[in-house]
Amino acid sequence: MITKINNLNELIRFRQDLHRWPELGFAEHETSRKIAAHLEALGVEYVGSVGGTGIVAKVVGTGDNHRMASVGLRADMDALPLEEHSGVQHSSANPGCMHACGHDGHSTMLLGAIEHLQANNDFSGTVYFVFQPAEEGVGGGKAMINDGLFERFPINEIYGLHNWPDLPVGKFGLLEGPIMASGDKFDITINGRGGHGGLNPHGCIDPIRIAAELINKAHTIVSREIDPLSPAVLSICAIQAGSMSGFNVIPHTATMTGTIRAIDEEAGDIVRGALKRVCDSLEHYYEIKIDLIIDNKFLATVNEADAVKTARGVIRSCFGEDALQQNYKPSMASEDFSYMLVERPGAYVHLGAGDKDHTHGLHSQKYDFNDSIIPHGIVFLANVALASLDKQNAG
């Protein structure tokens, strides 16, 4: 069992350097270069440009591997298009871009796990380390899979970890089945007929009026069409129509965008179908065209039971029974690690990151990754890899 982290200060410096120079999805060129340089310094074998800017490294154990045991550990690398207001010394130096989700910390913890497994390589099997680009809704997980992730690198089981400010430091959130929701982006365009808001409103087909009606109807879908024991969310998050300087101008169009989240696919299908019916009914009533586009960004992230058992065993052994958060519930956030869990059994784990100095949530402009949890992440990742290999070798 790996329990001691000797190079924590070096890893913190690396994490804060990544934080200072964030890059958006599929543009993580400098981030990938820094990770590759770290791997080269360690003498670790790796392949770059997987699914764009992704990297896959590996450490092969010195023990007998006649059962071809292998396991993958995944971390994401990309940042978000936000202006940082955290006030920390290592704040983003790239305007309009910041690590507001902790992917800088995830990549750092994965590097730490590599270093410790390389130094303690008397295991039987191969550990693959997947540095994924473009997690934030732009398809990095799919891109790596489409680039042959699981064919080029024979991974039998895969684990991922995400810092979770809603959990206190020292706690782990984990459950069988769905742990995070599916995530759709939808866009609606109402094509009305504009005109003078004072002279001839009766000659117009007001898209703002229709948008208001659509919003009201859409926001009743979940409360009246979805089983309350099957969580789902529909949120219209932005609307644009007309100009604030055109106080007497009815615009031709109104556009909206929003998201649908669901824990199970049946609930997601019901919400999607109901939103389409709402648009169709208003289109028919007002004799206009309403365009609805639904883009499925993420599947539900579904943990496999045996992998959850393995992860729980590692948490108990390394951190104690109290480290497991009791009665943990799924999150309505989404994660494209879900696509990897479709391809291979595995589990996704939430790592507590909240304390008195880290109170801002994920995707906040004031967020900063909690460096104190780096040892927790490294210890979990390294030991869950060893536990997975032991399980495969014993099977």
Contact assessment for residue 98 and residue 80, using Cβ atoms and an 8 Å cutoff: yes
> Who contacts 128 (Cβ-Cβ below 8 Å, separation ≥6)?
56, 57, 58, 70, 71, 72, 73, 153, 155
Q: Known binder of ligand: residue 176?
A: no
**Cα angle, residue 289 at apex, residues 284 and 291 outer, rounded to 5°:** 115
Distances (CA, A) of 190 to 238, 255, 272: 14, 6, 18
Q: Known binder of ligand: residue 162?
A: yes
DSSP-assigned beta bridge partners for residue 73: 129, 159
Please tell me the distance from the alpha carbon of residue 235 to that of residue 261, in angstroms, as a whole number.
Answer: 9
Distances (CA, A) of 170 to 20, 173, 229: 26, 10, 30
Q: Known binder of ligand: residue 321?
A: no
Sole residue written with tokens 């790239």: 94
Q: Known binder of ligand: residue 90?
A: no
52: alpha, beta or left? (left if phi > 0; alpha if psi -120 to 50) = left
Distances (CA, A) of 98 to 80, 316, 388: 6, 34, 34
Q: Known binder of ligand: residue 363?
A: yes
Give the helix/strand (H/E) hosting 117.
Answer: helix 103-119
Sole residue written with tokens 């130096």: 93
Annotation: binding site for Mn(2+): 101, 103, 136, 162, 363
Annotation: binding site: 101, 103, 136, 162, 363
